[in-house]
C-alpha cells in the first residue's frame, strides 16, 4: 500500500504543479525549465519586466536602501547620534533580542505568510525607530526609544527572514555573487544618502552633544518609502530568472510540520557549522557604535557615516566576481572567498585593538576631522564597514549553495539571522556596561572570528560542486520529458 502511494505521487504531478506548468510562463524547455520564446510571445513586456528576477532583486534592494540602510546610517553616527550612547545601546540590544526570538520562528512564519507579506509587515515597521530617535533628541523621551526597539525588532525580523530567503533564491546560479553584491551595495548607497543628510545638518565645528533632531525627520521620510516597493514583490512561483530557470518551491507544509522543521534546521550540520560565524558576523557593530560616540565629534561622526560605505561598494562587487568565476568549481570558489574575507577581517581587528590600547593609555578626547589623529583612528572603522558586509555576502552565498528549494533557503536564512541577532544583542548589551572603552568588544569579536574559523573551514570543504536546487530542477525536467515521450 505504501509503495502504491509512493508510485502515484511520483507519477502524477500535483494540481499546483499542473497549473504552474500549463501556464506560458512555465512552459518547459529542457533543462532550462521555461520556453523563453513562447514566454516572450505570450506575456506582455511590462509583466515580463515585473516578474524578472533582477527586477525583484532591485525592488528588494530599494527596500534595503530605505530601511536597514537608514538604520545603519543612524548607527553610524555612534550611539544613534544621541549625546549619550547608553539609551541607544539599550534600545538596540532589545531590538536584536526580539529579532532573535522572531527569527527563530521565522521559517514557519514567512513560509505561511509568504515572502511578499512578510516584507510588507517589516517595511511598515521601519519608520518606528527613526521616529523614536527624533522624539528622544527633541523631547528627551527615552521610553519610546526603548519600546521602539521591541516593536522594530518584531517587524524587522519578518523582513530580514523574508529578505534572506529571497536573496538566496532569486539569483540564477551563475550570478549569485553579483546579485548579492547588488543587495549589499544598495544598503551602502542608503548609508551614503544618510551620511550626506547627517553631514549637511551637523557640519558646524565645535557642535557638542547629539545630532540635530531634523536629521531624524529626513531618515523617517526615506524609511516610509519602503512600503510601496514591498507591495510590488511577486511570489517566488511567478518569478522568471534571467537564464530561463524557474525557482524550485516545495509543497506547502502544515503549521505543525513547519515548526518541526525548526529543530531540524537548527540542528542541521549546515547551521551548526556556521553558527559561530553567524554569531560573529555583526558582533562588531555594538563596539564600533560606542567607539564613534565616545571618541569623535558630532561632525566627525557625521562624516564617517558618509564616507565609510564607499570602499564597500568596490569590495562587494570584487567578492561577487570571485564567487561567480565559472572556470572554478563551486567548492574552490567557496575556499577562495573564505580566505579573502578572513584575511581582510584579521587586518582590521588587529588595527582596531592597537588604536584602542593607545586611547586607553592616552585619552584623545573628541577627535575632529581637522585633527592629525583622525585618519589613523577613523580608518579601521572605514574598513570594517567593508569587511563586515563582505562576511555577510559571502555567508549567504555559501548557504544558498546547499539549498534544495526556496523554502529551505527561508529556513536556513531564518536560522542564520536568529543567531546573528543573538550576537548583536549580546554586543550592544555588553557595550551598555562599558564607559568609553570598546577594547573588550574588539577583543571578543576577534576571538569569535578565531573560534568560527575551524567549523567554517569544515563547512566550506563540504560545499557541493553544484547547487542541489539546480540538480533537482534538471531531474524534474528530465522525468517530465520522459513521461511525455512515453
- Per the DSSP assignment, residues forming a β-bridge with 52 are 240
**Set of cell numbers at residue 147:** 519600546
Please give the model's pTM, rounded to 2 decimal places.
Answer: 0.73
CA distance 446 to 449: 5
For 47, half-sphere exposure in the C-beta direction (CA atoms, 13 angstrom radius) is 9
What does the buried/exposed string (b/e) look like for 361-378 if buried means 16 or more CB atoms within 10 Å of the residue's CB? eeeeeebbbeeeebeebb
Question: Is the pLDDT at 25 greater than 50, yes or no?
Answer: no
CA distance 204 to 183: 34
CA distance 319 to 323: 6
Report whether 410 contacts 110 (CB < 8 A): yes
pLDDT in tens, 183-235: 877 877 766 776 777 677 666 665 555 567 877 888 899 999 999 999 999 98
pLDDT in tens, 351-403: 989 988 988 888 888 888 888 888 888 888 888 888 888 898 899 889 888 87
Quote the pLDDT of residue 232.
94
- The secondary structure element, H or E, covering residue 392 is helix 374-400
DSSP states of 135-181: HHHHH--HHHHHHHHHHHHHHHHHHHHHHHHHHHHSS-GGGHHHHHH
CA distance 293 to 420: 23
Domains, in order of start, for the chain = 45-240+268-476 (1.20.1250.20)
Distance, first Cα to last Cα, the chain: 25
Q: What is the dihedral of CA 402, 389, 233, 419, to 10 degrees?
A: 60
DSSP 8-state secondary structure symbol assigned to residue 234:
P
Quote the pLDDT of residue 224.
94
Question: Is the pLDDT at 38 greater than 90, yes or no?
Answer: no
Report whether 59 contacts 170 (CB < 8 A): no
Amino acid at each position: 500500500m505504501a509503495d502504491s502511494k509512493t508510485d502515484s505521487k511520483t507519477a502524477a504531478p500535483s494540481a499546483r504543479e499542473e497549473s504552474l506548468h500549463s501556464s506560458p510562463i512555465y512552459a518547459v524547455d529542457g533543462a532550462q525549465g521555461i520556453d523563453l520564446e513562447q514566454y516572450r510571445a505570450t506575456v506582455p513586456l511590462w509583466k515580463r519586466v515585473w516578474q524578472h528576477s533582477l527586477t525583484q532583486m532591485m525592488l528588494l534592494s530599494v527596500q534595503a536602501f530605505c530601511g536597514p540602510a537608514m538604520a545603519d546610517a543612524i548607527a553610524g553616527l555612534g550611539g544613534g547620534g544621541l549625546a549619550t550612547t547608553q539609551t541607544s545601546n539599550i534600545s538596540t540590544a532589545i531590538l536584536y533580542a526580539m529579532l532573535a526570538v522572531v527569527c527563530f520562528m521565522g521559517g514557519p512564519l514567512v513560509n505561511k505568510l509568504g515572502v511578499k507579506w512578510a516584507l510588507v509587515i517589516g517595511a511598515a515597521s521601519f519608520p518606528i525607530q527613526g521616529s523614536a530617535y527624533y522624539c528622544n533628541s527633541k523631547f528627551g523621551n527615552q521610553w519610546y526609544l526603548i519600546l521602539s526597539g521591541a516593536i522594530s525588532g518584531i517587524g524587522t525580523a519578518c523582513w530580514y527572514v523574508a529578505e534572506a530567503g529571497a536573496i538566496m533564491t532569486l539569483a540564477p546560479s551563475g550570478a549569485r555573487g553579483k546579485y548579492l553584491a547588488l543587495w549589499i551595495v544598495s544598503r551602502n548607497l542608503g548609508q551614503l544618502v544618510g551620511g550626506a543628510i547627517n553631514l549637511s545638518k551637523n557640519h558646524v565645528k565645535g557642535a557638542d552633544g547629539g545630532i540635530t533632531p531634523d536629521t531624524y525627520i529626513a531618515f523617517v521620510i526615506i524609511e516610509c518609502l519602503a512600503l510601496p516597493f514591498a507591495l510590488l514583490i511577486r511570489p517566488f512561483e511567478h518569478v522568471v530568472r534571467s537564464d530561463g530557470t524557474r525557482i524550485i518551491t516545495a509543497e506547502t507544509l502544515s503549521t505543525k510540520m513547519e515548526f518541526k522543521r525548526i529543530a531540524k534546521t537548527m540542528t542541521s550540520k549546515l547551521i551548526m557549522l556556521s553558527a559561530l560565524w553567524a554569531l560573529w558576523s555583526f558582533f562588531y557593530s555594538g563596539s564600533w557604535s560606542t567607539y564613534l560616540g565616545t571618541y569623535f565629534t558630532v561632525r566627525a561622526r557625521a562624516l564617517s557615516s558618509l564616507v565609510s560605505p564607499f570602499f564597500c561598494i568596490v569590495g562587494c562587487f570584487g567578492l561577487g566576481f570571485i564567487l561567480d568565476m565559472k572556470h572554478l568549481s563551486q567548492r574552490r570558489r567557496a575556499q577562495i572567498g573564505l580566505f579573502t574575507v578572513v584575511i581582510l577581517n584579521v587586518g582590521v581587528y588587529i588595527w582596531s585593538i592597537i588604536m584602542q590600547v593607545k586611547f586607553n593609555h592616552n585619552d584623545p578626547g573628541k577627535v575632529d576631522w581637522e585633527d592629525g589623529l583622525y585618519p589613523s583612528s577613523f580608518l579601521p572603522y572605514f574598513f570594517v564597514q567593508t569587511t563586515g558586509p563582505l562576511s555577510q555576502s559571502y555567508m549567504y552565498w555559501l548557504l544558498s549553495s546547499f539549498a534544495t528549494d526556496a523554502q529551505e533557503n527561508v529556513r536556513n536564512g531564518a536560522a542564520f539571522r536568529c543567531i546573528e541577532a543573538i550576537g548583536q544583542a549580546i554586543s550592544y548589551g555588553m557595550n551598555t556596561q562599558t564607559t568609553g572603552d570598546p577594547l573588550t568588544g574588539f577583543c571578543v569579536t576577534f576571538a569569535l572570528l578565531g573560534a568560527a574559523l575551524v567549523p567554517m573551514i569544515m563547512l566550506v570543504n563540504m560545499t557541493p560542486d553544484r547547487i542541489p536546487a539546480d540538480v533537482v530542477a534538471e531531474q524534474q525536467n528530465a522525468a517530465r520529458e520522459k513521461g511525455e515521450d512515453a
